[in-house]
Amino acid sequence: MSHGFTSNLATDETAISTIRRGLAEAPVLRQGLWFTFFLAALGSGGRVVVPILLQQSIDRGIVGPGAEEAGASMSVDVTLVAQLAAIGAVAVVLAALAFRQASFRLAVRSERALYDLRTPHRPHPPAQPGRSR
């Protein structure tokens, strides 16, 4: 008896087709989907900002030994480094808030979709003649 996973190529679905089927079964997932994707992308992109700003503060904010050949001594542009640090702090906070909001929106929509899938949908009874609702 085999206990491993077996693959039946005729019934295998791609990730995209699974997502499409999920969206068709639970339409509540489609509400605000693109905005949630935008927030998640903003949160993920914010993680790239810190290494870039760190590199820029070292490359442009600290004038090192290479500048001595040009007649300059080693110096630090404190204003530039402080500005880049402030930009980095704001970017990290905004990225964290965006990622948190995206996760929250996804959790709320998923919970609602599961509720809708588990709750049997009963059609309204037909209207009886002579009675108004």
In this prediction the pTM is: 0.64
b/e burial code for range 73-88 (CB count within 10 A of at least 16 → b): eeeeeeeebeebeeeb
Torsion of CA 67, 68, 74, 75, to 10 degrees: -50
Question: What are 98-121's pLDDT values in tens digits?
Answer: 999 999 998 988 888 888 777 766
Please check whether residue 76 is in contact with residue 62, taking contact to mean a CB–CB distance below 8 angstroms: yes
95 class by beta-carbon count within 10 Å (0-12 exposed, 13-18 middle, 19+ buried): buried
- Mean pLDDT score, 17-35: 82
Taking the domains of the chain in order of start, what are their residue ranges? 28-117
* pLDDT tens, residue by residue, 81-97: 999 999 999 999 999 99
- Under a CB-based contact definition with an 8 Å cutoff, are residues 55 and 133 in contact? no
Residue 54 and residue 60: Cα distance in Å, rounded?
A: 10
